[in-house]
């Protein structure tokens, strides 16, 4: 947040620099569910190949991968309407979210994605009923910007059964891009900032060369250095 405030101030001053610190987490379910976990009454299970029931579920993972996760809807699993599985991830700073889903079967239920922020679960995606016509049809991709959520959030994928065994909904290749907020104190140069404007922010310590302008003290907080636009 301090970086955001600093950027806003510097943009008003007429100089431009750019900070990039993006981190992406890709979960392909080839080895495990981590960092996700199941928190619902029923579970999204890791699987490879076609699901055990005929006429439902994918035959392979998304984008040519082997494994994926799915909600089993045969008897003894989420077979009754309103049975739910919840795939949950705790606390991250969001920028973008994308994932692949496969929903083949005449008993297909509802897949929803919800983001928890400031005490409220916001639904950002929901699709109901059969979205594929065969187990071998390509997975569909969903992608969202989450930049409106400023602070840390939680996320959950909710699979709700419609009743019946032909309702094996599947997920794969969940990618979350995070933005890390950094404080840049300019004590050791410009850090990861890059000048892109017509004039340069210069790294400096102490008073600026001109009189009656610039900071009159050597430090912001307790550091020695700063940058100035000239």
Binding residues (CB under 5 A) for Ca ion: these are: 28-29, 61, 65, 67-68, 172
Tokens encoding 204: 């400096």
Smallest separation, CB 66 to Ca ion (Å): 6
Tokens encoding 195: 């000048």
Nearer to Ca ion, 29 or 157 (CB): 29
Nearer to Ca ion, 136 or 230 (CB): 136
What distance in Å separates the CA atoms of residue 92 and residue 206, rounded to the nearest whole number? 38
Smallest separation, CB 30 to Ca ion (Å): 5
Cis (ω within 30 of 0) for the bond into 153?
Answer: no
Smallest separation, CB 139 to Ca ion (Å): 10
Nearer to Ca ion, 103 or 184 (CB): 103
* Residue 212 CB coordination number (10 Å): 5
The sign of the torsion formed by the CA atoms of 16, 18, 19, 24 equals positive
Nearer to Ca ion, 68 or 70 (CB): 68
Nearest alpha carbon to residue 25 among 173, 196, 223: 173
Max alpha carbon distance in the chain (Å)? Answer: 82
Nearer to Ca ion, 68 or 186 (CB): 68
Smallest separation, CB 172 to Ca ion (Å): 4
What is the number of helices (H) and of strands (E) in the chain?
A: 1, 15
Nearer to Ca ion, 10 or 33 (CB): 33
If you write DSSP's letter for every residue of 51-104 in order, what string do you get?
-SSTTSS-SS-GGG-SEEEEE--STTSS-STT-EEEEEEEEE-EEEEEEEEEEB
Smallest separation, CB 108 to Ca ion (Å): 20
Smallest separation, CB 37 to Ca ion (Å): 17
DSSP 8-state code for residue 42: B
């Amino acid at each position: 947040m301090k970086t955001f405030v600093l950027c806003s101030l510097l943009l008003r001053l007429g100089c431009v620099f750019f900070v990039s610190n993006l981190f992406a987490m890709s979960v392909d379910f080839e080895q495990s569910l981590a960092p996700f976990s199941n928190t619902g009454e029923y579970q999204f299970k890791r699987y490879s190949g076609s699901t055990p029931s005929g006429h439902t579920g994918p035959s392979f993972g998304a984008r040519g991968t082997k494994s994926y996760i799915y909600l089993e809807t045969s008897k003894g699993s989420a077979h009754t309407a309103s049975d739910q599985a919840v795939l949950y991830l705790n606390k991250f700073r969001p920028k973008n979210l994308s994932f692949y889903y496969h929903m083949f079967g005449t008993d297909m239920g509802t897949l929803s994605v919800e983001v928890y922020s400031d005490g409220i679960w916001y639904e950002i995606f929901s699709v109901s009923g059969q979205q594929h016509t065969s187990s071998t049809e390509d997975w569909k991709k969903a992608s969202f910007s989450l930049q409106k959520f400023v602070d840390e959030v939680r996320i959950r994928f909710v699979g709700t059964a419609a009743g019946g065994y032909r309702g094996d909904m599947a997920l794969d290749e969940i990618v979350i891009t995070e933005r890390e907020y950094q404080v840049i104190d300019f004590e050791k140069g410009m850090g990861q900032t890059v000048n892109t404007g017509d004039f340069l922010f210069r790294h400096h310590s102490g008073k600026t060369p001109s009189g009656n302008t610039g900071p009159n003290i050597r430090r912001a907080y307790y550091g020695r250095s700063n940058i100035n636009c000239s």
